Every structure is written in structure tokens, then in C-alpha cells.
Amino acid sequence: MKPTQTKPSIVFCHGIWADGSCFNKVIPTLQAEGYEVMAAQYGLDTPEGDVAAVKRTLGRVSSPTILVGHSYGGSVITAAGTDDRVAGLVYIAALAPDADETSQSQQSKFPVTDVFKYVEVADGRVWMTPKGVECFAGDLSEEEQKVVWASHYAPAADLFSRHAPGTAWKSKPSWYIVANNDRTVHPDLERFVAKRMGAITHAVDSSHVAMLSHPGFVIDVIRSAAKGVPANTAVA
């Protein structure tokens, strides 16, 4: 029997103030093209718990897998991506801490972005106020911005000060999407981490949520990454 090359799986990892549905503009196209896709759902309680949830998701798809992380999801895939089932990493306007960094310490090296003027800590969680959504997703329609705010999921207040071990970008091929107009993660931070990891870098004039405002661009980068990693081998 001859081996048949199949496409890698894709697992999406969301950031704070979001869940897996933030990728709903890119998932259907990738599924239609024959990719096995799942969005990991995790609680934004601890980095360790979020990474564990991603690894459980890896057990539900075929290997090899590309991890796609948005925002804080970049910290998650940086740790989870050391798993042998992961073949490549795609970062979307994302954090990518080194072994001695947390999500917070990495951000503290760059200017504070506008969105943090519009947050409130209550009940141990960090909530975005309605005015913050313009900084988070300002290039979406007003209707879409309202949905983003209404469905935003607040992280634990100490989430960014904790760290899960693992620095996958040091050993796995990486792609990075810089959001030039980002007001949540500073674009200079994005350019810095992309260069540091040696990622294949693409830039787009987007808010923080490029996968919602420029889904076609994001899909193209994911396709490129999928072609750049070894395909799964099945027996036909």
C-alpha cells in the first residue's frame, strides 16, 4: 500500500476576553479545504491549566498539528507547542514569552496600550469596559464590536503574572502576523518577538482581532504554515 499525504491538523488557541468562537470566520474555510480543525476552550484561570486543555485537544485531532495562538494564546502555544504532536506555530498579534518571562513581564518592556485604560478588576477577574472594545476591535462594525463586548470572557486577575514552562518557538517553525494598528498588544512588541523567534512574518493594517477583521489574510498565513510543515502520513 502506498502512503497518502494528508494535511496537518489545526488547533486554535484564544486570548483573553475571548473564547474559541473568535475564530469562527476562519474555521469554516479551512474545514472546507479539508483541514481537521478544533478550537481549544480553556478557562483563563492559570497558564498551566490552559496549556493542559490545549494538550487534551491535541489528543482529539490527528498529528502533526499546527497551533494557532491569538494574543495571550501566543503564551499558551509557546508552552503547549513543545508537545511532540505539534509541528508548527502561528502567532496572531500574540505574546511569545521566553523561559524567564511571563505574559506581563514581556508586555512591561513596551508602552502601555490604550485598552488597559478601560478595564476593571472585580471578583478576581479582569473585565473590559464597553469603551475598551474600540481599542480591542476598532476595525469591526459597530454591531460586531457590541457582540465582542457582550461575549467577552474575563481572565483571572493574576493570569499574566504566572508562567507555564516550555518555549516551543525555539525548536518549532513559526509564523507571525503583526497587527499594525493594534491597541491591545503593542505592535512593537509583536515585531520584536517575531524577529526574536525567527518567524516568517506578515503584517496587516488591522486591529488586535485580525482573524475577525481580516480573516482572508489570516487564512492565507495558516495555509502557508500548513504547507511548510511535514504532512501526516496515512496508508491508502
Could you report the per-residue pLDDT of 84-108, keeping only the tens digit for each?
999 999 999 999 999 999 999 999 9
What's the predicted TM-score (pTM) here?
0.95
Number of domains in the chain: 1
**What range does the domain containing 194 cover?**
3-235
Calpha distance 164→81 (Å, rounded):
11
| 3-class SS of residue 175 | strand
**Tens digits of residue pLDDT in 193-204:** 999 999 999 999
CATH classification of the domain holding 14: 3.40.50.1820
